[in-house]
Amino acid sequence: IAGTAMKVLEAGVDEGLVHITSTDPKSWPRVKSLSALPLPAGGSPRILLFVHGTFSSTAGGFASLATDTGKDFLERAIADYDAVIGFDHRTLSVDPLANAQDLFEKLSVREADSAMVDAICHSRGGLVVRSLVEKILPPAKWTGSINNIVFVGVPNAGTNLAEPDRW
């Protein structure tokens, strides 16, 4: 039953990268990899990465930045970074470590050599970024770096929603 429910809940998930190019979430194009973005020649691009939480997407989790209170922040981020991207991923049927591996593969392109990445993550998205930093990157021969991470409502110590008596 749980497997069927996950398939239904994740039926519309479109995995991959989202290029945040303006304050209009409806205009954010999907891209297959960082190699599709206009990154500076010579490497070391500055990238701001958004990673959403459970039952969400980049647009669903971060579109509120396009409103009055977040609009200035988003405009400045788009101006200050070489690329602002979101990572859309399955949040029920895929383990955060597997999501992190997928994200790593998308970040590991020649055009992003020596990338300097800052991340803002919400809820389960923080577990994906934590898995990337703690499990994937240490043994990897990646030329980039994750410099700053902002965790917003991340269940780093677990969540009581997963307790059996809550089910």
The per-residue pLDDT for range 33-58, each reduced to its tens digit, is: 888 999 988 778 999 999 999 889 99
Question: What is the reported pLDDT for 22?
Answer: 95
- More confident of the two residues 18 and 42: 18
Highest mean pLDDT among 54-58, 84-88, 93-97: 84-88
Reported as a pLDDT band with limits 50, 70 and 90, residue 160 is confident
Share of the chain above pLDDT 90, in %: 59
The CB-side HSE value for 94 (13 A sphere, CA atoms) comes to 22
**Coil/strand/helix, residue 53:** coil
How high does pLDDT run on average in the chain?
90
User: Which class for 116: exposed (0-12), middle (13-18), buried (19 or more C-beta within 10 A)?
Assistant: middle
β-partners of residue 148 are 118
Backbone angles phi, psi at 164, to 5 degrees: -55, -35
Tens of pLDDT, residues 100-152: 999 999 998 888 889 999 999 999 999 999 999 999 998 888 889 999 999 99
Question: What is the reported pLDDT for 162?
Answer: 66
Reported as a pLDDT band with limits 50, 70 and 90, residue 167 is low
Reported as a pLDDT band with limits 50, 70 and 90, residue 83 is very high
Question: What is the reported pLDDT for 69?
Answer: 80
Model confidence at 13: pLDDT above 80: no
Question: What is the reported pLDDT for 3?
Answer: 73
Q: Sign (positive/negative) of CA torsion 74, 35, 101, 4?
A: positive
